[in-house]
Copies of this chain bind each other. A is one copy, B any other.
Amino acid sequence: MARIRLGMVGGGNDAFIGGVHRIASRIDDRFELVAGALSSTPEKAQASGEALGLPRIYDDFKAMAIREARLKEGIEAVSIVTPNHVHFAAAREFLKRGIHVICDKPLTSTLADAKKLLKAAEASDALFVLTHNYTGYPMVRQAREMVASGQIGTIRVVQVEYPQDWLTQEETFKQAEWRTDPARSGAGGSTGDIGTHAHNLACFVTGLEVASLAADLDAFVPGRQVDDNGHVMLRFKGGAKGMLWCSQVAPGNENALRIRVYGDKGGLEWAQEDPNYLWHTPFGEPKRKITRNGAGAGEAAARMSRIPPGHPEGYLEGFANIYSEAADAIEAHRTGTPLSGDVIYPTIQDGLRGVEFIDACVRSSKRNAAWVDL
């Protein structure tokens, strides 16, 4: 199959996540980056595009969408890696021209935008892939497969957390700038930036949906305008309960996303910082360390894995797996063939649920952590 022609919005010189998307798109060699509107000012967009040697450089995403849609060999897909508040407008331009969208999370900076974007996606023939990248880790797939196949039994308790420490003191990072500005990040701080990942992971692994939540959010650092710590109790449809903790002020935590799932037949534990291991305890038996591609790992993980056990894959490979799934979906779309049921990627519906989660957290917290339905 020919490589998929890819464009990018955002991800200029200073951005962290743009580079991640570019590496992720290259790892399995199924995309070719050929166009970009990489920054919010024409000058920076031009400079960043040149630095990458992009064939076609645009001043802004709208110009790119219009022109690429007209080109015979224009981009087939676009990665949107801007600050949150730009996702909506950018994605809409490409969706309405039939260009597939691969978009960072959270889907949008407001719930209203998320709902409008869902309609735009439904009206478009193009695919929409949300990069909840942690769902691309092989051992997360393994966990999901084990839950789905009943090995854990009926799920009762889900403990999920995503602590970081980089915003423990007043931010001095470039990366922090827009993330702590509600106009650009949305109403959620830690909830939006990382709580959504935790929420998505909990749902992805268990197959459950959150029915309602009670959230107690704080902005501990003086002057901070968005939450930097969130304590959330979860009630899932069907009766399982959960706790979700996200924090950017927990010294000693880098990106310590971790999930634990307990059912009446067993338990599972997975930690993002050590992603090649999944700990499984069948009730009444010793805890087992299942390793990526190692003994005990099944097909769902093997699909997402490139190298033998004991040679760790990491964040970039997990991210690349989302791009690989997207490539499978885009190829099926190209050829009009049905997509294999094995291919899984976060959708715009997942994105809407993520924004609803943020919105519910913020509303609950304002009402003294009252229960709010999702």
Contacts and interface: CB of A to CB of B under 8 A. Distances in A.
Interface residues of A, number: 83
Given A19-B306, A250-B260, A315 B316 contact: no
A264 B229 CA distance: 13
A225 interface: no
A177 interface: no
A129 to B, nearest CB: 20
A36 to B, nearest CB: 14
A249 B156 contact: yes
A74 interface: no
Nearest to A243: B231
A216 B229 contact: no
A313 B310 contact: no
A252 interface: yes
A16 interface: yes
A371 interface: yes
B295 A290 contact: no
Interface string A153-195: 0001101010011101100000000000000000000000000
A214 to B, nearest CB: 6
A233 B232 CA distance: 8
Interface in A187-208: none
B283 A267 contact: no
Interface stretch (A5-13, A23-31, A83-91, A330-338): A23-31
B235 A312 contact: no
A27 B26 CA distance: 6
Contacts of A262: 247, 249-252
Interface of A: 16, 19-20, 22-23, 26-29, 156-157, 159, 161, 164-166, 168-169, 214, 216, 218, 220, 229, 231, 233, 235, 241-243, 245, 247, 249-256, 260, 262-267, 269, 272-276, 279-291, 294-296, 306-317, 368-369, 371
